[in-house]
Amino acid sequence: MPPTSRDAVRPAVRPAGWSAVPLWWLVPGAFLAVLALAVAVPGLLAAADPLAADPVDALAPPGAAHWFGSDHLGRDVLARVVHGARHSISIGVAATGLAVTAGVLLGLAAGLSPTWLDEALARTFDVLSTLPELLLALLVVAITGPGTVNVIFAIAVAQIPTYARVIRAQTFVVRRSGYVEQAVTFGRSRLAINTGHVLPNVLGPIPVLATIGLGQAVIASSGLSFLGMGPQPPAAEWGAMLSEARNYLRVAWWEALFPGLAITLTVVCLTVVGRRLQRRFEGRTP
Amino acid sequence: MIRRLGAGLAVLWAAATASYVALLLAPGDTVDILIGDGADTPEIRAGIIAEWGLDRPEIVQYLAYLWRLLHGDLGRSYQLQRGVGEVLAGQIGPTVQLTLAAAATGVALAAVIAIGTAGRGRWPRAAASAAELVSVSVPPFLIGIVLLSVFSFTLGWFPVSGAEGPAALVLPALALGLPIAGVLGQVLRGGLERALEQPFAVTARARGLTERALVARHALRHALLPAVTMAGWFTGALLGGAVITEVLFGRPGLGQVAMQAVTSQDMPVVMAVVLLSAVVYVTISTLLDLAYRVIDPRIRS
């Protein structure tokens, strides 16, 4: 990348490389916008029916009829990738939303509780975060059985400790801050202080963490779907598509390439945006 | 040190309790799962209840479970009708091979990335950052799929599946090791660059040390410290990734066992795998804590 005028006015200590170019704001932003469009109105980006099988036209390479080729049942890969965004992204968003909500509540509860309860909660978060996320999610799926809703729940459970630990630490900082002390002095009730002062102020790191967490949730959901735990066939979900495509790798690379690219690009863009936000708001590199 | 061991034991106890709670939460009647497709008469039911001690209060069952765990008894598999310990022992070999090979691959590549790019200016740094970004963003099974289609299907260098011979280990170890290399390489590189800016690096250069000797003798030791703190993530990535890698490459191992157990709701096996990974985690993080003291004498006091 050539140096831009922005580089010239920045101090020399600023990390150079991919992070210095504003283009890196634009490209992920544009991709995420297209993705949002695919989630909202998939028909606009791909006219074909993602579930319509046509055995005569199976395993056709990318061309004018099928831009991304067709899969082993003759379904249009482009349509499946575009429609798959709805499955994959909504699982990720729902899991992240659930994990953030539960994480904030539990972290706040721990941070505001008497010491013994806080210790118990904190140790629980510690133990849960020692277990690999995928194994924890599998444990949950073993209890609940496979399916879209259960996968959302499993990923959320596996990610709760991350958010809860951050919020707990934030709560300690905010509780000792001047404005909370002031509010106590003015005789405001505990509930009013906790909802009016503590809650909004501990939420600071959440948007950044959730953006990066969403990317990781998309990876986790594609992994669980790949293992056959997520949305069941013939649903077009990226991980499930890859799982089917792996049996046809020898003859049809396109059936695996495009859903794979979709997952990777989604997560790369979310990670880049998340880290840029992190740098902007926290003034430090992750 | 005693404190450290105590904390480790507490984690293990909590993991055992958590997996017991998971067993209680599991839907369906244990007796139904145990009977499966077999004959179902009241006598057989009564026999199963007596054999597995299901009529006792839950707290007694829990304590009995902990007591058996203390004696190394992991219980019996619902599906396989064999001891869980026996099932795991039969499958642990290929998984240990895979994770060790992947860990070695990951660490070696990370060292290459870090030493090759640290302090070499903008482009190598950008390349290392890009490698790290890709390795946190690509699902682990996708790397495996790409490796398979290039090296097994197109070039035919390595077998497509199974665990026969060293050639079958190459691609799975790479698939599991590459994401680790990207992240660890980035951390090591950051540590190395910070170390090379320290006053001691200036002193060493002034003494006439070559850049290579400076990195090898002084800077690497400093760079290792932040990398060691990544151990938890590292272990988790290996153990979680092993499940997916084994399924993708059709390798036998604990991951396959865990997958089958999850599918058939064979809770004792799922619990044992989760417990085992907690044991591995605690052992590794304790060992690395010790390593920390060796690397940095300042924290020994």
User: How many Å apart are CA A99 and CA A88, to the nearest integer?
Assistant: 17
| pLDDT of A143 above 90 | no
Which residue would you say has higher pLDDT here, A163 or A286?
Answer: A163
Q: Residue A42, SS3?
A: helix
A229 band by pLDDT with thresholds 50, 70 and 90: confident
Q: Cβ contacts (< 8 Å) between B143 and chain A: which residues?
A: none
Q: How far is B69 from chain A (nearest CA, A)?
A: 18
Is the Cβ pair B278, A130 closer than 8 Å?
Answer: yes
Superfamily of domain B92-252: MetI-like (1.10.3720.10)
CA distance B210 to B216: 10
Domains and CATH numbers, chain A: 51-281 (1.10.3720.10)
pLDDT digits (tens, 9 = 90+) for A153-191: 889 988 898 899 989 988 888 888 888 888 888 888 888
Distance from CA of B12 to the nearest CA of A (A): 8
Q: Are B255 and B242 in contact (CB under 8 A)?
A: yes
A-B contacts at Cβ under 8 angstroms: 142
Q: Taking the domains of chain B in order of start, what are their residue ranges?
A: 15-89, 92-252
Judge contact between A124 and B229, C-beta under 8 A: no
Q: What angle do CA B81, B269, B53 make, to 5 degrees?
A: 60
What's the average model confidence in pLDDT over B83-106? 86
* A101, amino acid identity: T
**Residue reference for tokens 């995928």:** A134
DSSP B149: I
Q: Do B11 and A127 touch (CB under 8 A)?
A: yes
* A24 against B97, higher pLDDT: B97
Q: Which of A171-175, A223-227, A263-267, B46-50 has the lowest mean pLDDT?
A: B46-50
SS3 state at A76: strand
> Which has the minimum average pLDDT: A10-14, A94-98, B134-138?
A10-14
DSSP letter, residue A61: P
CA pseudo-torsion sign B81, B84, B87, B91: positive
Is residue B200 very low, low, confident or very high in pLDDT (cuts 50, 70, 90)? confident
Please give the ipTM for the structure prediction: 0.78
Element spanning A282, H or E: helix A253-282
For B175-198, what is the mean pLDDT?
Answer: 85
Average pLDDT, chain A: 80
Q: What is the pLDDT of residue B85?
A: 81
Q: What is the percentage of chain B residues whose pLDDT exceeds 70? A: 92
Positive or negative torsion for Cα B220, B221, B225, B230:
positive
CB atoms within 10 A of CB A256: 25
Question: For A6-62, what is each residue's pLDDT tens digit?
Answer: 444 444 444 545 455 567 677 888 888 888 887 787 777 777 777 767 777 766 677
Distance CA B35, CA B144 (A): 38
* Residue in A closest to B187 by C-alpha: A286
In tens, the pLDDT along A189-213 reads 888 888 888 888 888 888 888 888 8
B162 pLDDT exceeds 80?
A: no
Q: Predicted confidence band at A93 (pLDDT cuts at 50, 70, 90)? A: very high
Q: Which of A73, A224, A59, A45 is nearest to A149 (CA)?
A: A224
> Given a cut of 60, is residue B185 above it in pLDDT?
yes
pLDDT attached to residue A95: 93
pLDDT-derived band at A102, boundaries 50, 70, 90: very high
In chain A, residues with a C-beta closer than 8 Å to the C-beta of B78 are none
Q: How many C-beta atoms lie closer than 10 Å to residue B38's C-beta?
A: 9
The stretch B57-75 carries a mean pLDDT of 78
Convert the pLDDT of each residue in B9-36 to its tens digit: 877 887 788 778 777 777 666 777 666 6
At A103, the pLDDT band (50, 70, 90 cuts) reads very high
pLDDT band for position A96 (50/70/90)?
A: very high
**Residue A159 DSSP one-character state:** H
CA dist., res. A78 & res. A69, Å (int)? 7
Which of 6-35 (B) contact A at CB < 8 A? 10-11, 14-15, 18-19, 22, 25-27
Higher-scoring residue by pLDDT: B250, B43: B250
So what's the pLDDT on residue A50?
73
In the predicted model, is pLDDT for residue B52 greater than 80?
no
Which pLDDT score, from 0 to 100, does residue A6 have?
Answer: 42
Which of A250, A231, A136, A246 has the alpha carbon at shortest distance from B143? A246
CB of B278 within 8 Å of a chain A CB? The answer is: yes
For residue B171, which amino acid is it?
L
The CA angle B59-B63-B65, to the nearest 5 degrees, is 115
**pLDDT of A71 higher than 60:** yes
Inform me whether the C-beta atom of residue B235 falls under 8 Å from chain A C-beta atoms. Answer: yes
CB B241 within 8 A of CB B258: no
Greatest CA separation for chain A: 78
Long-range contacts of B287-291 (CB under 8 A, 24+ apart): B288/B228, B288/B231, B289/B4, B291/B228
pLDDT of residue A69: 73
Q: Can you give the pLDDT at residue A5? A: 41
Cβ contact (<8 Å) for B14 and A127?
yes
* pLDDT score of B71 more than 80: no
Residue B77: C-alpha distances to residues A189, A228, B83 (Å): 54, 22, 6
In terms of CA atoms, which chain B residue is nearest residue A250?
B153
CA of A179 to nearest chain B CA: how many angstroms apart? 35
Assess whether the previous peptide bond of A234 is cis (omega < 30° from 0). Answer: yes
pLDDT (0 to 100) of residue A284: 45
Quick check: A99 pLDDT over 90? yes
Nearest CA in chain A to B130: A18
Q: Does B269 touch chain A (CB under 8 A)?
A: no
